[in-house]
A and B are shown apart, each in its own frame.
Chain A
Amino acid sequence: MMLPDPGTTLYAGAFGLIVIGIVGLVISKNLYRILLALVIAEAGANMLLVLAGFRFDAIAPIITGAFATAQSVPMVDPVPQAMVLTAIVIGVGIQALALSLIMQVYRTYGTLDMREISRKLDRDMAGSAGVSPSSSEEEPAPQSLSPLPDALLNKTGKEGADA
């Protein structure tokens, strides 16, 4: 048969999800997409963990029915499944937290573009410290969506703001 065995396919799928997630994490610019990429990568890692203890010829690790009658039937390793449940719960919690933080960022900075956010972050850090920001010298100045007073905007930021 041409089909590879299901184990290989599933392992490939798990690693594939992780790779897709990491690529998405690197190339996405939108904060929400970055979070989604993270979710995909996490699904891949969870799948890998399930596969670590999975056997195709075995039954579910519950001591009833088939297991109680025939002692010799092999069962799937329950430990990774319990761990994946924990990992999924942790993952969901962190995603919810991340979403609420993304909302807060959007409220204060008015954008979800990662480049824009890191520029504003840099400007804010420099502004609160009273020094000129490190990265914005070559980049165009940010749009003046800023909730901050002009006094906090640095000199390099002002040059392009009039244009």
Chain B
Amino acid sequence: MMSIEMNPQLMSLIILTVVLPLLTAFLLPVFGRVSSLVARYTGPLVLLFCLYITIVIWTEMTKPFMFAIGGFAPPLGIVFYVDQLSLLFTALVLLLTLLLWPYQKKSSIREYSLTLLLAGSACGLALSGDLFNIYVFYELASVASFGLVASAASGAAYAAAIRYVIISGFGSVLALTGIALVYTQTGTLNLAQLAQLAPEQLNNSIGIAAFVLILLGIGVKAELFPVNTWVPEVYATAKKRVSALLAGLISKLAVLVLIRLLVLVFHTEQALQIMLLLGVLGVATAELAAWRSKDMSRMLAYSSIGQLGIVFIAFSIPGEAGLYAGIAVSLHHLLVKPALFLLAERWGSSLQGLRGAAKASPVAAILFVLFALSLIGVPPSPGFWAKLLVVMGLISQDMAMYTVALTVILVTTVIEANYLFKVVITLYAKSEAGAEAENKPDVNRIHAKLDLLTSSLFGAVLIAAIFLIVPLGQYVKQTASQASDVKTYISTVFPRVRIPDSVNTERSR
């Protein structure tokens, strides 16, 4: 179709974004012993190289392409499906891990290894086109995040980590059961083949059961409503860089997997309704909990659940508009939440204790205000446009449930504004002389240069996004429309197959 042929050898380099971080993760504990220099700099260099590969492929890519691992053609072999969406997320994984890399002097080789493991498996999640392969990468990412959470090495971190392991393990049992159900119905786990078979073989009660099981299973990482009890505990006890990675990145990759499943396999109305319901419940409960919370770490954790609830609500809007809105909200949250967690590194304690903290570190306070405004969705900020897309999408639907969702989003925005502004007011309040004594020493309040620098970088991107909102919006829209194109997905993975008419080009209403 397209005139320009892509260089297949160059395209096959995409596999390196998964292989190199994984390989380095396992070799680093051995070679890291040779010299501390090797241990410290190998990881970032590998990530940088992978990022370079991704960007080169990005500029060369004219249409989505497929990479069959080991040369085994699908459906027998495992495939990577590369389109704008998966490349975007691969690049974001690599970029964010680079930014949130444990650069501190006291970090151990194990932390480097685990972070690399997380990056490699996250890239795999973004690229994989096979349900079981997704499950394996998902488990790898889980193991890496358990280790990173426990690396804070306090009693609370261990307790939070074990509770996270148990909820996550419960989720993987559910997901595995769902995958088994899909296999009994269709006899394949290749997403492109599932997309062909789904309209006939998964459009029944077993298909819905499988969707709910997989949704709950993958939803553990995506902070979906009933399986998100680990979120506040883990984000409050883990190192803030780890919290930032989990909240910003890993949750979005779980969301990406769910997008793929929703578009390709489970595009039924019931599936959308279930997501909508869980999303609404998530937003409502999380924002109320955030409003009640008294310390910044847990407030940010609950607000993260709330934002992901909005993402789920957005994806439950049928058609391309829903995907567009959902991806926009995800990308916005991916930018804002890690930065806020970096600020919470020093401000993680009680909100009352933050009185007058703006005086000690004015830059951090300004950044906090900027991110808070965008999170609430105050007009010129990117957060406003993302939320507007969701609201417009919900208005265009006439079912009662969507109106309920709209109301919930608008009401929770007010709540969100309330608690975030409360923090801002506390930051700029005059500190009382008496309160000073019982607070921790002021040295603690000043941010580490590294955290502040990374955070300002996120802030700069946010401000740049205000001015570039039109091209960015177009890009996201194009990405969403490509991601919702089931026919291209199938014809890319199976070039010779004639696509039956029963496969919808768009998601069904």
Contact = CB atoms under 8 A, between A and B. Distances in A.
Interface string A18-46: 10011001000001001100100110111
Contact of B184 (A42, A52, A98, A132): A52
B155 interface: yes
Contacts of B143: 93-94, 97
Interface stretch (A63-71, A99-107, A136-144): A99-107
B297 A129 contact: yes
A80 B183 CA distance: 8
Interface string A131-162: 11010000000000001000000000000000
Listed residue (B146, B155, B165, B294) with the most chain A CB atoms within 10 angstroms of its CB:
B155
B378 interface: no
Contacts of A128: 156, 349
B69 interface: no
A49 B158 contact: no
Interface string B145-181: 0110010001110111111011001101100110111
Given A104-B158, A105-B159, A109-B155, A125 B298 contact: yes
Contacts of B189: 79, 83
Nearest to A129: B295
Given A101-B161, A105-B155, A94 B169 contact: yes
Nearest to A124: B156
Interface residues of A, number: 49
A6 B47 CA distance: 52
A53 interface: yes
A18 B177 contact: yes
A86 B131 CA distance: 13
Contacts of B172: 42, 90, 94
Given A18-B173, A49-B176, A77-B187, A121 B165 contact: no
B434 to A, nearest CB: 15
Nearest to B155: A108
Contact of A25 (B158, B166, B187, B351): B166
Contact of B136 (A90, A108, A109, A147): A90
B348 interface: yes
Contacts of A109: 155, 159
Given A45-B173, A101-B161, A108-B155, A52 B180 contact: yes
A163 to B, nearest CB: 25
Nearest to B438: A130
B233 interface: yes
Given A94-B139, A101-B150, A42 B169 contact: yes
Contacts of B150: 101, 104
Interface string B107-133: 000000000000000000000000010
Nearest to A53: B183
A31 B156 contact: no
Interface in B211-246: 233, 236-237
A21 B170 CA distance: 9
A75 interface: no
A35 B296 CA distance: 32
A76 interface: no
Nearest to B348: A129
A108 B158 contact: yes
B180 A118 contact: no
Given A104-B150, A117-B159, A121-B159, A94 B177 contact: no
A38 B168 CA distance: 10
B350 interface: yes
Given A87-B176, A94-B143, A131 B155 contact: no
Contact of B177 (A48, A79, A97, A121): A48
A131 B176 CA distance: 40
Contacts of A98: 162, 165-166, 169
Contacts of A102: 162
B166 A125 contact: no
Nearest to A42: B173
Interface of A: 18, 21-22, 25, 31, 34-35, 38, 41-42, 44-46, 48-49, 51-53, 77, 79-80, 83, 86-87, 90, 93-94, 97-98, 101-102, 104-105, 108-109, 117-118, 120-121, 124-126, 128-132, 134, 147
Given A53-B187, A120-B159, 9 more contacts: A22-B173, A25-B166, A42-B169, A49-B180, A90-B172, A97-B165, A117-B159, A125-B295, A129-B349
15 contacts: A45-B176, A45-B180, A46-B176, A49-B179, A49-B183, A51-B184, A53-B187, A90-B139, A94-B172, A101-B165, A120-B156, A124-B156, A125-B298, A129-B348, A130-B352
Identify the 6 closest CB pairs spanning chains A and B, nearest first: A108-B155, A129-B295, A124-B156, A131-B294, A45-B176, A48-B180
